Structure 1
């Protein structure tokens, strides 16, 4: 299941992505916001809920949107176990999954248009983590999350 969340800037794009996910046969859960006309809706609330759902395993991955994709990515990165990629191109989205095993994609609804956003999302959703040498780096990221030095090996 894909967690979806956005601020008021991302409502229309989120609706387009919902249609795309339906066409791809993927399930999704919408964590809000729902009102494009309410700039008082705060993206940290919705981004946090979606990131928590991914971190807990309720959802497999997430796609989060705000005006630039940056603010909501900062929120999601605060949740342990989340690896965000903020993308405005297809190649970066694919590589973030293949090499970094990103589990949340953020995009700027004011940065990318609907069609490009769908291309980016499809690329990210279809990419698979390569593992191998990249897993070692994910393990290092997890050490940092736990307050450990990524160069320290246990027993040394």
Structure 2
């Protein structure tokens, strides 16, 4: 699995730790999309575009709370970013919502939690035909038809 990862300057240390965790666990090949731009939207959009284009299978974004990068990434057509706040949301982001980008807070989520959420997010898959399929189809249809 190819994973695009990026953050704002506040989350550089957390991003580096998460990259090491992903590689150590063999969860995928990680590409660093940077962290030096203080405008977190710029890196979030780059990761969103890389994932939406299918050049990368999944994305991970970090900022202070994860909120800003989540909002920014979701502006990209085909990018479906979810703010992960607990193990259940990490699981449901994939199983029920087919999210392709995980967003987390460097200031709001501990390192062990980020590792757990990342592992759950990267090892679960959306189940086509499940009860959530019509909901996912509805937001994807709207997304693809918008200007």
TM surpasses 0.5 = yes
TM-score, with structure 1 as normaliser: 0.87
Is there any run of 5+ residues in structure 2 with no aligned partner, and where?
Answer: none
Report the alpha carbon displacement of residue 87 of structure 1 after superposing the two structures with TM.
Answer: 1.1
8 Å Cα contact 1:88-1:112 kept in structure 2: yes
Aligned CA-pair RMSD? 1.4
Q: Does 1:31 align with 2:29?
A: no
Report Cα offsets for 1:52-90 as digits up to 9, x if no partner. Answer: 000011110000000000001011000001111101211
Q: Who wins on radius of gyration, i.e. which is larger?
A: 1
Please give the alpha-carbon distance, in whole angstroms, between the structure 2 residues aligned to 1:31 and 1:54: 12
Partner of residue 143, structure 2? 145
8 Å Cα contact 2:5-2:30 kept in structure 1: yes
Is there any run of 5+ residues in structure 1 with no aligned partner, and where?
Answer: 35-39, 149-156
SS in 2 for 1:100: coil
8 Å Cα contact 1:2-1:61 kept in structure 2: yes
Partner of residue 55, structure 1? 52
Please give the alpha-carbon distance, in whole angstroms, between the structure 2 residues aligned to 1:44 and 1:91: 26
TM-score, with structure 2 as normaliser: 0.92
Q: Does 1:127 align with 2:128?
A: no
Partner of residue 152, structure 1? none
Please give the alpha-carbon distance, in whole angstroms, between the structure 2 residues aligned to 1:72 and 1:21: 20
Please give the alpha-carbon distance, in whole angstroms, between the structure 1 residues aligned to 2:95 and 2:50: 22
